[in-house]
Amino acid sequence: MIRALYITDEDINKDNYLRSNLPKEIEIVKVNSKDEAIDQVLSKGPFHIALIDVENKDIEALDLMTAYSELVDSIDFVFFGNSSLYAGNVESQLDEEMMAVAHHLEYPFNEDALENVFMDIILKYKRIEESAALIEIDESEFAPLKLRSLYLFKSIPADAYIKFSSNKFMKVIKKNTLITEALIQSFVKRKVKFVYLYKSDQLQVLEDAITEMYITLDKYKDTKVLLENLIRSVGIIHSYLRWIGTGDAVLSLVDKVIEKCEYVIEKEPDLLALLGKFPFSAGDVAEKSILTSLFGCSILESINYKASGTRSKIILSALLCDSTLENDDLCKINSVKDPNLRMFSEDEQEEFKIHPVREGELASLFTKYPEVDFILHQHHEQPDGSGFPVGLRGKKITLISAIFILCNDLASYIIQRGLKRSVLRKAAEVLEEKYAYVPFKEPFKMLTKKLA
Ligand SMILES: [Fe+2]
């Protein structure tokens, strides 16, 4: 935001005109006197523009300009009002340096002239800010935070950067500044998926996020809000596991997410109605996790599968599934034979091939939830033996793994295409043949019946 200090004598016409015609990037702070203007600069930091009315006899424009120039490194002056007053009282007394940052607008204002002056100033300060904010640093100094995680914070207690090129990063969020929806959307438009924090800041930021999310999950009971918060929690859990590892805080949040997923499915047993409240948005791994959990719990309910803790095992499997994949888009690939896999880098392809094994190992750290390691190890096996990493076939795959595999597959299908009746019908058709084998057949029938 470009900040303009506006020294006015309360001429309401000029005031209204400026406020309604200045570009939206400019924020005006209004003051009534030179002393108040100086106080603002000293207490609130530098301004980019000083707006000065040359027709106001109480303001000695040149005197003010000199005072500003001493206080602030870089500031542009926009004088407005009668041309001859400007020429006589201001312009004639400016030295070369001051001329370079002085602009004049005739009053009544001409819209085009006003736009030209302010757009030039905006571009100038954007260039200055960008070059000042760009740093060259080894990527290993940083840890990424998924963009979605920013929704958790009102502000973050550390500077955040985006990747500009291989070893150049641009500071985009200053420590403790307000994180607005507009700011996040500006990143979304630029296809930014991660912001980067110094590793030394990451632990504090993620621990704060876990604490806040834990409280937030208990606070809101509305199904849609709860689902949104569950999806956000998955983002935080994945970042923590990836960059910090396991620990009491993240384990507590995992338990809380499991509890709340179970709560949602009990509160809303009609799966189709529940999906109507699902906040489809980014189509990423976090959405897929929660969708898979809901499908899995719904199947368990239908087939009356009451083995101890099965629901929580399915939910934890969904939480950890694909958490080790750095590129979120890989979560939409289901087979090493999928031609789309070739669109990823060689490293990403290798990462994909081994991720079921890595996630099985990760799950073995969650000792409260046995079997999740097997489920994750098997989550890309297929009924016809064409899956990986082992190529298990049919009955060699356990029932609980089969339930997870088909739920994960269906969730992946839906997040790529959105939730529509036609998508659900097509998914049932496409996947029916694939899952026409024991132990997949019965749970698949149950799930598609619920979604019909
Ligand atoms: Fe996977």
Where residue 323 falls among pLDDT bands split at 50, 70, 90? Answer: very high
pLDDT tens for each residue of 107-123: 888 888 888 888 888 88
Q: What is the 412 CA–ligand 1 centroid distance (Å)?
A: 10
Q: What is the 406 CA–ligand 1 centroid distance (Å)?
A: 12
CB-facing half-sphere around the CA of 68: CA atoms within 13 A: 30
Where residue 352 falls among pLDDT bands split at 50, 70, 90? Answer: very high
Tell me the backbone φ, ψ of residue 8, rounded to 5 degrees. -130, 155
* C-alpha distances out from residue 385 to 27, 308, 436, Å: 62, 29, 13
List of residues 6+ apart from 34 with CB closer than 8 A: 7, 59, 60, 63, 64, 67
Q: What is the 322 CA–ligand 1 centroid distance (Å)?
A: 5
List of residues 6+ apart from 125 with CB closer than 8 A: 2, 48, 74
Specify the pLDDT at position 131. Answer: 57
Q: Tell me which residue of 204, 208, 251, 209 sits closest to 233, measured CA to CA.
A: 209
Q: What is the 399 CA–ligand 1 centroid distance (Å)?
A: 18
Q: What is the 388 CA–ligand 1 centroid distance (Å)?
A: 10
3-state secondary structure at position 246: coil
Q: Do you know the residue count of the chain?
A: 452
DSSP characters over 297-364: HHHHHHTT---TTHHHHHHHHHHHTTTT-SSGGGGG---TT-GGGGGS-HHHHHHHHHHHHHHHHHHT
Q: What is the 255 CA–ligand 1 centroid distance (Å)?
A: 22
CA 109 to chain centre: 41
| pLDDT > 90 fraction of the chain, expressed in percent and rounded | 41
Where residue 33 falls among pLDDT bands split at 50, 70, 90? Answer: confident
Q: Quick one: how many helices (H) and strands (E) in the chain?
A: 18, 10
- Residue boundaries of the structural domains of the chain: 2-131, 137-181, 220-451
pLDDT tens for each residue of 147-169: 877 877 778 888 888 887 777 88
Q: What is the 357 CA–ligand 1 centroid distance (Å)?
A: 10
Architecture in CATH for domain 220-451? Orthogonal Bundle (1.10)
What does the alpha-carbon distance between residue 298 and residue 119 come to, in Å, rounded to a whole number? Answer: 56
Q: Which of these CATH numbers, 2.60.40.1730, 3.40.50.1820, 3.30.70.260, 3.40.50.2300, describes 2-131?
A: 3.40.50.2300
Q: Kindly report the average pLDDT of the chain as a whole number.
A: 86
Q: What is the 3-state secondary structure (H, E, C) of 317-328?
A: HHHHCCCCCCCH
Specify the pLDDT at position 45. Answer: 63
Strand pairing category for 160-165 and 168-173: antiparallel
Instruction: Check pLDDT > 60 for residue 301.
Output: yes
pLDDT tens for each residue of 120-148: 888 877 766 665 667 888 888 888 888 87
